[in-house]
């Protein structure tokens, strides 16, 4: 892809991706325009990062600059595909691609692309750590916080990219083709963006749409929807499972992770030796093991990393134990399925803090799990009323609505007893009250530490 002297428009400057794409395009000698609905005042930090580059900015809306004599449009993940300016561009025949598609065309290294509704970040981080310990030339990129395009040309074909890929990023791919794709699970999410669960799945499936028989598609055998995608990929399908002994793949049985992929049903590690706990983390570990084995990583290295890797911030993160009450930060549980997995991790009595931005998710299963596993429920955010209505249908009544994380933590301390758990697992996005799940999680941790100072 030769972009020299081509007019390329980047739509969406926030969340780091737009900045990275614009920087890259300038270095490719493209004529770069950046368009965003936000004003210059709202984008001061991003504009500061691009101050040294020759870029034409189109801010406060999308003008005709976006489509006039434009050769290519690169869309940031947060920009919906159905906005009027993109519909106009497509009607004019202007190619519209995502940042990961752009990066793919300039990446010499094979890409390990990881997606799914839940577990992507943990699996990507764990896989990247395995490659790092194996002294591979590795870049950990994508939806994990570092755009795929960032520094992509520094890798040779001897390196490897481990990338967390979201449904938003997959919407506008054309040729993107990972060497190994992994789909962990599929449950309804981002329906406020995709409209229907079917459209969400269609976006996720694009991760393997260009794979051929020389590539691998790794699927969760235990997830019926994920398993059912096997016939739709051109890649060689490899399964992993917690529930079934596989004829070919990686599975869990009798308290062990079993390698029946590069060995003959050989135990790789005792599950209780792994650093990350819970069924959801076992799922993540199995997926990472498949990728590592397919790339020829030594079993001893895989075992060592599985023993030492303790997880990621904001995912079942133990914050503190105060007066016998354990506080757990799972702010990354941004949909009901993730929150359910968090609730299933603990056997102690739970005070749950939940609620946030409404992504139009179905709440029945979440409400049932709350009735089954939770003693006290504290709700906040856009979905507070909606969640309360759902759980009261199951005759659950220990509910309190609050206006802030600070109030939620104080209320949780009051109603919880020694030996119990206060769990932040919102089951919703953070954007109604916070800039990100990380900001929400950090606020929770700050409020918990304030309790310790009392």
Residue 125 and residue 194 in contact, taking contact as beta carbons nearer than 8 Å: no
Q: Is 118 annotated as a binding residue?
A: yes
Tell me what percent of the chain is helix, strand and coil, each rounded to the nearest 5.
Answer: 35, 20, 40
Instruction: Name residues whose C-beta falls within 8 Å of residue 233's C-beta, 6 or more positions apart in sequence.
Output: 181, 208, 209, 211, 217
Q: Is 392 annotated as a binding residue?
A: no
| CA-based torsion, 433, 438, 443, 448: positive or negative | positive
Instruction: Name residues whose C-beta falls within 8 Å of residue 94's C-beta, 6 or more positions apart in sequence.
Output: 67, 70, 71, 72, 73
Q: Is 121 annotated as a binding residue?
A: yes
Q: Dig out the tokens for 21 from the structure.
A: 């794409």
N-term to C-term CA, the chain: 60
Q: Is 48 annotated as a binding residue?
A: no
Distance CA 376, CA 102 (A): 47
Distance CA 259, CA 291 (A): 12
Instruction: Name residues whose C-beta falls within 8 Å of residue 372's C-beta, 6 or more positions apart in sequence.
Output: none
φ, ψ at 367 (rounded to 5°): -60, -40
Q: Is 123 annotated as a binding residue?
A: no
Q: CA 182, 141, 197, 336: dihedral to nearest 10 degrees?
A: 100
Residue 376: Cβ within 10 Å count: 21
Q: Is 119 annotated as a binding residue?
A: yes
Q: Is 67 annotated as a binding residue?
A: no
Distance CA 204, CA 166 (A): 8
Positions at the binding site: 116-122
Positions at the binding site for ATP: 116-122
């Amino acid at each position: 892809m030769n972009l020299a002297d081509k007019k390329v428009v980047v739509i969406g400057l926030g969340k780091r991706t737009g900045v990275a794409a614009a920087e890259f395009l300038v270095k490719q000698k493209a004529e770069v325009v950046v368009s965003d609905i936000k004003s210059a005042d709202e984008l001061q930090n991003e504009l500061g990062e691009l101050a040294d580059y020759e870029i034409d900015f189109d801010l406060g809306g999308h003008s005709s600059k976006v489509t006039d004599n434009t050769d290519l449009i690169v869309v940031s993940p947060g920009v919906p595909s159905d906005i009027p300016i993109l519909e106009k561009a497509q009607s004019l025949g202007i190619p519209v691609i995502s940042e990961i598609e752009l990066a793919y065309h300039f990446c010499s290294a094979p890409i390990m692309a990881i997606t799914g509704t839940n577990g992507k970040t943990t699996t990507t981080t764990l896989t990247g750590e395995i490659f790092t310990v194996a002294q591979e030339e590795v870049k950990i990129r994508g939806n994990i916080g570092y755009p795929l395009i960032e520094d992509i040309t520094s890798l040779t074909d001897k390196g490897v990219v481990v990338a967390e890929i979201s449904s938003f990023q997959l919407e506008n791919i054309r040729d993107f083709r990972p060497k190994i794709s992994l789909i962990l699970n599929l449950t309804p999410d981002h329906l406020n963006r995709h409209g229907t669960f079917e459209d969400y799945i269609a976006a996720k499936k694009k991760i393997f749409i260009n794979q051929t028989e020389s590539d691998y598609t790794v699927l969760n055998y235990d997830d019926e929807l994920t398993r059912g995608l096997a016939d739709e990929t051109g890649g060689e399908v490899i399964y992993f499972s917690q529930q079934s002994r596989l004829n070919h793949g990686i599975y869990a049985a009798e308290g062990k992770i079993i390698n029946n992929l590069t060995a003959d049903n050989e135990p790789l590690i005792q599950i209780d030796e792994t650093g990350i706990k819970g069924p959801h983390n076992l799922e993540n570990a199995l997926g990472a093991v498949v990728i590592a084995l397919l790339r020829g990583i030594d079993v001893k290295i895989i075992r060592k990393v599985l023993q030492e890797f303790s997880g990621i911030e904001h995912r079942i993160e133990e914050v503190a134990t105060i007066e016998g009450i354990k506080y757990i930060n799972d702010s990354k549980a941004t949909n009901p399925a993730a929150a359910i997995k968090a609730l299933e991790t603990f056997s102690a009595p739970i005070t749950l803090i939940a609620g946030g931005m409404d992504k139009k998710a179905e709440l029945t299963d979440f409400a049932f799990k709350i009735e089954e596993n939770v003693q006290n429920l504290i709700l906040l955010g856009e979905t507070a009323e909606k969640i309360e209505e759902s759980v009261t249908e199951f005759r659950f009544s220990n509910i309190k609505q609050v206006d802030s994380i600070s109030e939620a933590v104080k209320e949780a301390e009051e109603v919880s007893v020694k030996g119990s758990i206060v769990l932040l697992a919102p089951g919703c996005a953070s954007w109604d009250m916070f800039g990100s799940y990380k900001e929400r999680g950090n606020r929770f941790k700050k409020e918990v530490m304030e309790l310790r100072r009392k």
